[in-house]
């Protein structure tokens, strides 16, 4: 593998990792916000529990779909697993950092 390819793989991994961290933050924020909206109905009005649970499930589903698409090795395109701070791909052993 050429040096340019290694740098490109590392750069793409950093981009994927950044997107993944942002997605985690946004998903957690939205789920917590919906829980607060349910408990504090004076903030945004009254919503039923079923509506907010459905919205939370939609956020979780969207997050999972994004993760399946985004969290892949830049070299072999296989799923990277649950560890966000990877150093190597467990499938192709490509160095990611």
Q: Using CA atoms, how far apart are residues 36 and 30, in angstroms rounded to an integer?
A: 10
Structure tokens at 4: 């340019």
pLDDT for residue 90 is more than 80: yes
Q: For the chain, what is the mean pLDDT?
A: 92
Question: What is the structure's pLDDT at 7?
Answer: 92
Give the pLDDT band of residue 75 (cuts 50, 70, 90): very high
Q: Which one-letter DSSP state was computed for residue 79?
A: B
48-64 pLDDT tens trace: 999 999 999 999 999 99
pLDDT for residue 26 is more than 80: yes
- Could you tell me the pTM of the whole model? 0.85
């Amino acid at each position: 593998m050429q040096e340019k390819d290694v740098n490109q793989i590392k750069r793409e991994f950093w981009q994927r990792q950044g997107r993944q961290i942002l997605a985690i933050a946004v998903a957690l924020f939205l789920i917590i916000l919906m829980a607060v909206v349910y408990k504090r109905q004076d903030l945004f009005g009254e919503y039923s529990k079923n509506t907010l649970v459905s919205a939370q499930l939609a956020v979780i589903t969207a997050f999972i779909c994004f993760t399946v698409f985004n969290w892949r090795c830049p070299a072999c395109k296989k799923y990277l697993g649950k560890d966000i701070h990877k150093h190597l791909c467990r499938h192709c052993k490509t160095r990611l950092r």
